[in-house]
Amino acid sequence: MAVQRVCQTVSNNNMTVEQIISNYILTDGQINSITVNFNEEPSAIVTLNTRKRNPENGVEDVTIDIRLNTLTHFDIVEDFESRSFSDLTLTRLTNGEYYLSLDPYDNSNQPNERDNFVFKCKTLTIGEQ
């Protein structure tokens, strides 16, 4: 069985943050992995098990890769007691950067100084496995 990879680039306006939030159910999922690259252009790949809205089938389970390119901020404090996330914050900041928190302080989808698992980057891409 061949694996088909679907990729949606947010930075090129192919898919907005609002479309990502409306296409995917980004609550009550699991964190599979996080890879951070400390090269000339720092980046990270966050792989999540989550759900996608499907007009034909209702809701389907999917694994997505969130690629955060040109990282400008990375802040994680983790005790590794759980892989699950109940909510996340994904938004575009006024300076044009993208903000992702996998452990937000609240569910307002707005950055909060008490958020955890925070990434900020210049471009963001979503891909399905």
Residue 21 domain-assigned (yes or no): yes
Handedness of CA 107, 79, 126, 39 (dihedral sign): positive
The pTM assigned to this predicted structure is 0.85
Residue 1 domain-assigned (yes or no): no
Please give the residue range of the domain that contains residue 86: 6-128
Write out pLDDT tens, residues 71-120. 999 998 887 788 888 999 999 999 999 999 999 999 888 999 999 999 99
Residue 120 domain-assigned (yes or no): yes
Residue 119 domain-assigned (yes or no): yes
Element (H, E) at 103: strand 98-103
Residue 19 domain-assigned (yes or no): yes
- Residue 52 is classified by DSSP as E
Total count of domains within the chain: 1
Write out pLDDT tens, residues 36-83. 999 999 999 999 999 999 888 899 999 999 999 999 999 988 877 888
Residue 53 domain-assigned (yes or no): yes
Nearest-CA neighbor of 103 among 119, 91, 92? 119
CA distances from 68 to 12, 112, 129 (A): 14, 19, 16
